[in-house]
Amino acid sequence: MNVLAGELNSILDGTVAGDLLSDFGKRFYFPKGIVAQSAEAKKKATRFNATVGMATSKGKPMFLESIREQIAGISETEVFPYAPTPGVLELRNKWREEMDQKNPSLKGKTTSVPLVTSGLTHGLSVLGDMFFDKGDSLVVPDMFWGNYRLIFEGRNQASIITFPFFSKTGGMNLEGFEKALSNAPGNNVAFVLNFPNNPTGYTPTVEDGLKIVSILKKIAESGKKILAIMDDAYFGLFYEDESLKESLFGKLADLHENILAVKVDGITKENFAWGFRIGFLTFAGKNLSPEVLGALTTKTSGAIRASISNSNRLSQSLVLKSFASSTYQSEKDNGFSILKARYLKVRELVASFDGDSPLKALPFNSGYFMTFLYEGDSEKLRLHLLNEYGIGTISIQGKYLRIAYSSVELENLDELYTLIDKAAREVL
């Protein structure tokens, strides 16, 4: 094992973070190679800096004017150089401030400084490498984003354990969640909760959120070590008053010594910047000191360095500048209003389906999506909608049909849902 990895492991030894690391996670470190030596030279090389493999001229990065002329209002140094592996520090600190504003339960609690990843998928993939060995368990609801299977099962060879997402009364199946965690083999268990949920567009109530926290504390008190991953990809898109409107990460950040909480989020959906590929990873846990969180961050930085080296500099610079805009919040509010109007229209349309419809809407109250349970074959329905009506939808498990109403104009929703109901009757 590399001596640097050993030093980091000694800092993490005896903590939940150290206990949950995979073999990969234990072996990993951030090298004191080119990147570290270049960072040192940036501070001290006052005469010549011949460290970074980057072409410069007159103290600035070289660039093609045909590229530069496309980008106004931003300096060359904010566009063309490499970004630091953990991300631009100013952006990382700003995102941590934003987290406090959006999650009152998090204020005053110790967390790591968010690491920048190349989108949420990359963040989840890094977590998979850092914490999952072959055969480890990952608990998720049976309604989950399909890429979890590719990342955690396909890439890391973990075993996904599912539980029915909804109870008979329509809320989150808390009993099933607790049972799945309690019965997972071994002394360590991990889970991912994604609110608003993809594919259902459901977020639990505030009351259910508190019950989730209580369940996790109970399991942690039993001695089980828990990796609690909050996939907050659609964070902020909450349309009903009773919905939980902050990440459970804030409650879990100091809940119990046996819980390592991780927040995976980003600008992708929150700030309507899908192609920028800027996500964040943030760690927290009860009694985890800044030194421990720093060691975990350093290891994770090594995993980022070994996969993509660093995330896009231009995207980070643009996002950071957007925070300073006087219209930043009003622009976000406007986007939210458009999506909420579509949501309310979809609720109205779904409620108008008569009792003979073969489509039953699963609970939804947030995010981008809603999902139907179909009495027939949802793949046949998907193909029928596509081939006969030119309508694209997503079939899941052969019985569910996901509708991304986020990508359909308000004035077109009537026609869309009328045709979906019509096609569902034709195929059945």
Q: Round to the nearest angstrom and report the end-to-end CA distance of the chain.
A: 60
* The listed CATH number (3.30.70.1520, 3.90.1150.10, 3.30.70.1060, 3.30.70.2860) that belongs to domain 328-427: 3.90.1150.10
Rounded to whole angstroms, how far apart are CA atoms 215 and 156? Answer: 27
Q: What integer pLDDT is reported at residue 32 of this predicted model?
A: 85
pLDDT reported for residue 20? 98
pLDDT, tens only, 329-342: 999 999 999 999 99
pLDDT at 46: 66
Q: Tokens 């991990």: give the residue.
A: 190
Number of alpha carbons in the 13 Å side-chain half-sphere of residue 46: 1
Fold match between 3-30+85-323 and 328-427? no
pTM listed for this prediction: 0.95
pLDDT of 1 > 90? The answer is no
Q: In whole numbers, what is the pLDDT of the chain averaged over residues?
A: 95
pLDDT at residue 35 is higher than 70 = no
> What would you report as the CA-atom Rg of the chain, rounded to the nearest whole angstrom?
23
Asked if residue 39 has pLDDT above 90, the reply is no
Q: Report the distance separating Cα 424 and Cα 408, nearest Å.
A: 19
pLDDT category of residue 44 using cuts at 50, 70 and 90: confident
**Range 271-281 average pLDDT:** 96
High-pLDDT (> 70) share of the chain, %: 97
Percent of the chain clearing pLDDT 90 (strictly above) = 91
Lowest mean pLDDT segment, chosen from 32-46, 88-102, 198-212, 372-386: 32-46
Which CATH number is correct for 3-30+85-323, 3.40.640.10, 1.10.645.10, 3.40.50.720, 3.40.190.10?
A: 3.40.640.10
Give the separation between CA 342 and CA 366, rounded to whole angstroms. Answer: 11
Best CA proximity match to 283, nearest among 261, 300, 254: 261
Phi, psi of 408 (to 5 degrees): -120, 130
**Polymer length in residues for the chain:** 428
Per-residue pLDDT, 57: 86
Q: What three-state secondary structure class fits 237?
A: coil
Residue 231 has pLDDT above 70, yes or no: yes
- How is residue 176 written in tokens? 């099933």
Contact between residue 406 and residue 368 where contact means Cβ atoms under 8 Å apart? yes
Question: What pLDDT digit, counting tens, does each position of 57-107 carry?
Answer: 888 888 899 999 999 889 999 999 999 999 999 999 999 999 999 999 999
- Give the Cα separation of 329 and 193 in Å (integer): 27
Pair type for strands 370-374 and 359-361: antiparallel
Q: How many CB atoms lie within 10 A of CB 47?
A: 5
**In the structure encoding, which two tokens stand for residue 381, read together?**
């329905």
Domain residue limits, the chain = 3-30+85-323, 328-427
